[in-house]
Structure 1
């Protein structure tokens, strides 16, 4: 470990951090451009084969950027996409980004450092950074925006310059250091450990925008909300937001272990997907999609007495046709992803004749991230971290998510040598309760 990283880990004051030299290179999880074709003709695109851990060059900081010593990060599904080079290699994003300016050119490299979550310590700031200082403990929003673009000032997610950090940009969070814009920084909740804090922003912020924000489904008290993949990273935060907002959460999972997890998080009704009968033959047969929708609708009406006002969708092809059928007249399907495939098929009569809405949603703007972080500080949202790996085990961590064997979030220790570090407000932690903060740990 280099002296700057060691000082950040030891909690050194800003003066000491400023005295330590920034290393010329650092350890990072990354993919290489020469590996892009490695999975051609392969059915199992095993991410353990493409993810590497090793030294990469340290980039120069832009005036509006900060260098963060990363204590912990987490796995998001875009890590899996990057490591499988699908739906297209992310090096295309980096080359396109490089054409936007001199600092953007740094991102076009033969390596791509991954990771859209991070918790750590600011160790350097650019000359244009005003609101943050060396030594601040932060988490990182997964979205980078262009603050000189007009649309950004209405909603950061609407700007053409908006990018998923660590996926559409280089120098992400699965590393000892990360380069972030100051407009991505959020104060770390002081009662959380490094790995807990790193498991929150990307998924919790995304779920907040989908369900609560004016840009999303605008959930209200009493709404019945169907959450597909309720035990996943996104779903586990959606369950909490539905509970907090006075909604009735109906979660779909695929095994008893995950059912137990979402019950602990406050899900009102838990459905095993085998009760619905979803398979590849269902997706490819419109009549079977409707049959599965009817089965699901009967279960929901039996349990809560009415059809869903909102369907929380990120599964995609395998479930979207059912979602369109089962949503009530005038209800909303809010979607932010398609982990089972991007080409969705559904009967359009159920959309137009029953006046339903499909809402596209992507990550969260900075204000939505700060609102989410406020709920975390209040203890109303808790981390859904279930398992923690070291950076050297990045392949195994990502493989767990690739195969959908995980619950909630999978954490990755970067500079932090062990779990449990980083808590600076133990009284707050005790008030919220250790059992609540680790509600799905070990499941």
Structure 2
């Protein structure tokens, strides 16, 4: 049994959903959190936790906020090196930047280099779990899972499958998509803190036969997630209609081929038809809101308020590298700005919930991560609410913790990440 460690500060957790009623009523503030054997074993007053474990190591974070590590519900780790590429919308962006970069991931050494670089960059931003697309190359999946396993990190990922409308060298076929994915599931799914997501990139790059094969694979492995893209841009939707003229709408393509269900995670989901919204809510599928990406490549404004009111399961995501930042603070800020453009101001409690509990729920991991409560795994981030002079002077004027936290959400970067714990172990933050 490993020794206990107590962290003191402002411990933030949630015992409800801040979108249900008064936002702050769902949040709890405590003084200390105790971790042991990779899990949270106590939360409460500093006096009580210290009295219950005399002589235990104490890490005093003063007025800093201690909370669950951020969970990024939709990323493309192979796009790390091309983040913030200029001037394209979705289809041209894929052809100009993404596909040439993804061609390189057949090289296991390069895949390993980028996987480790990505995990270094994201932990420096307080991200402890993510759900990533890899490339068509099994080596890209091996590299990502291997790097995460070595760090004791909980991640979800899957090999992209696409057999058309992609360059030669980035296409698999129906059988290899099924076989490669099945072998990777057998090797990695459920091992340590790793989970597999069956991953057709999106309807335009998979033939109906490939989508059906992946639907069959999901039926064989229903405990896996299934991730893909849905209704990101209007010109993409028009292309989908041309490719699948008999489909009622974009979502119908996935449903027809067995790729709609409670463990599905659909990235973007901006331009949804009423029928699609109804079916997503009925099935309990999750939507990954990618606000920095949606702004950066001009996709549109996600209807957070309307979709939440409809009972949709929603997580927050950076969409690296279509998104322009590795930071979930920046992602929360963008989500706030998008909601403002739609006439609604998201409360800081709602933003933090989306980046933790909400994303963990979207990935069906909320019984393990995403909240600083007893029994959950000890993946934690510590936020410095005075990380820069500009933020500090605003925090000094704050009337409560929410005003102070909001300044960090809107203006913070990796300097606001004072400490990160993954699986109960303190992590070095590499910022060079």
Instruction: Give the TM interval when normalised to the shorter protein.
Output: under 0.3
Given the two structures, how large is their TM-score scaled by the length of structure 2? Answer: 0.25
Given the two structures, how large is their TM-score scaled by the length of structure 1? Answer: 0.25
Structure having the larger proportion of residues in helix:
2
